[in-house]
Chains A and B, each alone.
Chain A
């Protein structure tokens, strides 16, 4: 891993009695693209504003290279921030907006004109120099904001949800444009977003924040495939949740048979769990669906659940089924539609099954004896109706 460039050491930020950030440690390498991901109120924008110098930390330090910038004003940190609202100055033209930072640095008019033209070319804004922000489209405004930030040649680029005001279609395109530009310039970038897919596509590394702390950080595929907490799993799309009895048995996690599931054993993979009840999480697209009347219990690996289709819809690509499993509802995607009322088996492969200790209060008081229930289910399958 390259050398640390932007170091955030044990940063805590409070607004009055509210602690917004609590001991954040984050080290970012030169040229790295980091996405700060989290739901609203998790502190991600506060962290960005603290890095930028618009919020003062109650404790901790921020360093750029060997410089401590914790108490420096925003313009002395070598950083440029792109605001969520773009914050373009409505009374200035595109060229004046982009060139303002250079004007403040007392650069010559010719120099400014040259850099502005270069930025406009880089961002596809050529020919729009004399326009005011009100005469631009959302995507163009966003690029002007980016050009204004990049014109001063900052060491670090900070992006505060820069795409949340764009149409969904333009957003997909802008993601790639910003990423390509970042790669081309090799600029260290911190990007705040609440959009998981946006973070996955753009960033070298994702940092998931929850309630003012880092819940997990790592490469997109690592965070996606190996969430360390139930929160991260849910945030990364594993919204289906079941509480199952089970625990560790050597290198194996053993899930006991329950009201709606057969017993199964999955590799432990270094996971630390306590025995008792487990919270199982998985994505809708990571499960497979089979009609129960066609076969017995599927004998593949993984967790098998018995349920009934409640609803089916077509969001595109795959059919999305709502399946009742015991008292819980889960979502399962399948290439073919199953009619509501169909009895089904849902299979989740061990790699796609995320297991965590069940939080207190979610454990059902008493589970019926497992074996009888599954046998009952088989009896139902065998009946002609």
Chain B
């Protein structure tokens, strides 16, 4: 019992850092969302709803769609790395797939901006392959561009987690299924993915939260309306100095991410990952 003051002293620096750098700004932001003029009220939320409801929906749809696509691609890549039978293609894929992880979001946005433009490389390739005529070519610099950028950037991260989890599976669970006659696709979806479902869920949730907070990609690729909430927050502050609405939009983002955080925690308690 006499150790109590000492132990408090030991955790005090860490506690102070968390309080000063995390809790206080967060509380200030939340409180700020309700500050209207001299008092408190829902004015910022009313204004945010009037102006940005469409953007909130746009954000949720884009990030959800990206999450689903990231899930599918990472299962496909990690599945091939685990079950692929050609050692050379497996080695090449293993070497290639991680590169986008090391490229910052802003660079991703910049690269894809030229790649996906109306006269960009993407359209040129489609045209030269005869899939499109030059007249049909259109710019992908809208919601599709954001989705492509997010999937391109986040798939390697989820794949990395997933391939690691798949590699540590008991190989004989895969061989047992082969022994009974399961095809590789069935082995992937009926034997392998169910065993790494928790890892997949965690990877996708972390990606979801990351994508919710990216400003550079929508700013670079989608310079139009509707756009993502991050752009709106930056715009309210930079253009109008309107911290109230910005805080309200921040709180909306926080509510969206806390839904997935809740899924993560619920699963974390059950599986203690």
Contacts and interface: CB of A to CB of B under 8 A. Distances in A.
Interface of A: 52, 54, 73-76, 79-81, 83-85, 87-91, 100-101, 104-105, 148, 152
Given A89-B191, A89-B195, A91-B195, A100 B177 contact: yes
B173 A74 contact: no
Main secondary structure of the interface of B (DSSP, over half): helix
A126 B41 CA distance: 64
18 contacts: A54-B175, A74-B178, A75-B182, A83-B175, A85-B170, A87-B173, A87-B175, A89-B173, A89-B191, A89-B194, A90-B173, A100-B180, A100-B182, A100-B190, A105-B181, A148-B176, A148-B180, A152-B180
Contact of B194 (A52, A73, A75, A91): A91
Contact of A88 (B173, B179, B182, B194): B173
A160 to B, nearest CB: 9
Interface of B: 170, 172-173, 175-182, 186, 190-191, 194-195, 197
Contact of B179 (A75, A85, A89, A105): A75
A55 B179 CA distance: 12
A54 B181 CA distance: 13
A74 B181 CA distance: 8
A90 B182 contact: no
Nearest to B180: A101
A104 B175 contact: no
Given A101-B181, A104-B180, A105-B181, A83 B194 contact: no
A73 B186 CA distance: 16
A104 B177 CA distance: 9
A81 B179 contact: yes
A106 to B, nearest CB: 11
Contacts of A88: 173
| Interface core residue of A54, A76, A87, A104 (most chain B CB under 10 Å) | A87
A54 B177 CA distance: 12
A85 B178 contact: no
B180 A83 contact: no
The 9 closest A-B pairs by CB, nearest first: A75-B181, A87-B172, A101-B180, A87-B176, A91-B194, A83-B172, A87-B173, A74-B179, A104-B181
Contacts of A148: 176, 180
A383 to B, nearest CB: 66
A101 B176 CA distance: 10
Nearest to A158: B179
A88 B169 CA distance: 12
A75 B184 CA distance: 13
A88 B173 CA distance: 6
Contacts of B170: 85, 87
A48 to B, nearest CB: 12
Given A54-B178, A83-B176, A87-B172, 16 more contacts: A54-B179, A74-B175, A75-B182, A80-B179, A81-B175, A84-B172, A85-B172, A87-B175, A88-B173, A89-B173, A89-B176, A89-B177, A91-B194, A100-B182, A101-B181, A105-B181
Nearest to B170: A85
B186 A104 contact: yes
B224 to A, nearest CB: 45
Nearest to A102: B180
Contacts of B186: 104
A90 B194 CA distance: 9
A104 B194 CA distance: 17
A75 B191 contact: no
Contact of B180 (A54, A75, A90, A91): A75
B182 to A, nearest CB: 6
B178 A75 contact: yes
Contacts of B197: 91
Contacts of B190: 100
A84 B175 CA distance: 12
Contact of A80 (B177, B180, B182, B194): B180
B83 to A, nearest CB: 14
Contacts of A73: 178
Given A89-B191, A89-B195, A104 B182 contact: yes
Contacts of B172: 83-85, 87
Contacts of B180: 75, 80, 100-101, 104, 148, 152
| Interface core residue of A81, A84, A148 (most chain B CB under 10 Å) | A81
A47 to B, nearest CB: 16
A83 B179 CA distance: 11
Contacts of A76: 181
Contacts of B179: 52, 54, 74-75, 79-81
Nearest to B171: A87
Contacts of A84: 172
A196 B18 CA distance: 63
Nearest to B191: A89
Contacts of A101: 180-181
A86 to B, nearest CB: 8
A277 B152 CA distance: 75
A75 B180 CA distance: 5
A286 B181 CA distance: 50
Nearest to A90: B195
Nearest to A97: B176
B172 to A, nearest CB: 4
B243 to A, nearest CB: 49
Contacts of B173: 87-90
A83 B190 CA distance: 19
A58 to B, nearest CB: 18
Contacts of A91: 194-195, 197
Contacts of B191: 89
A69 to B, nearest CB: 13
A100 B186 CA distance: 11
B165 to A, nearest CB: 13
A256 to B, nearest CB: 55
A81 B182 contact: no
